[in-house]
Amino acid sequence: MLRFVWTTCTAWLTGLAAYECYLRLIWHQRVGRDWTALSLSSLVAAFITAAVIYTPAMLAVRKAVGGYKPRFCFLLAAAVLGIIPTALVLLVWSGNISLRDLISSESRIFLVMFTVFGIVFGLGYTHGRSATVK
């Protein structure tokens, strides 16, 4: 349980940093007064998606590859899963989801955040574990 909390918090903070970096580099803006709302809502989203989406997916990858190697499989799966929480953010804020919405410039910032979250979560999930499942 402690590994899950540590991995999720580390992935969340890294994803949040990626969000801020993307916002500054691409949009030339800062989060500003929205920082508290962004932090709290993304923290809740991180723990929900980690428990409901990322952890079951990591277990499925572990079963499919017969262990924790190659790590790349975990990183790729977790990165691709970033589209699910991005779609959920769009659904919550706009009320609908379309392919155009998912690839819009406005949604890319969330895709970056959750992709980075996924990569770090995948790394944390496999870190220090033996290569094969016993």
pLDDT in tens, 76-116: 999 999 999 988 888 888 887 888 888 888 889 999 999 99
> CA 116, CA 96: separation in Å to the nearest integer?
24
Q: Does residue 131 fall inside a structural domain?
A: no
Phi-psi region of 66 (alpha: psi -120 to 50; beta: other; left: phi over 0): left
Mean pLDDT of the residues in the chain:
90
| Distance, CA of 134 to CA of 121 (rounded, Å) | 22
Domain that holds residue 121: 2-126
Q: What is the dihedral of CA 88, 93, 94, 97, to 10 degrees?
A: -10
Residue 20 lies in a domain: yes
Higher pLDDT, 121 or 33: 121
Tokens describing residue 114:
């959750």
pLDDT at 48 over 90: yes
Query: Which phi and psi angles does 69 have, rounded to 5°?
Result: -120, 140
Domain-embedded: residue 19: yes
- Count up the domains in the chain and report the number: 1
pLDDT confidence of residue 131 = 57
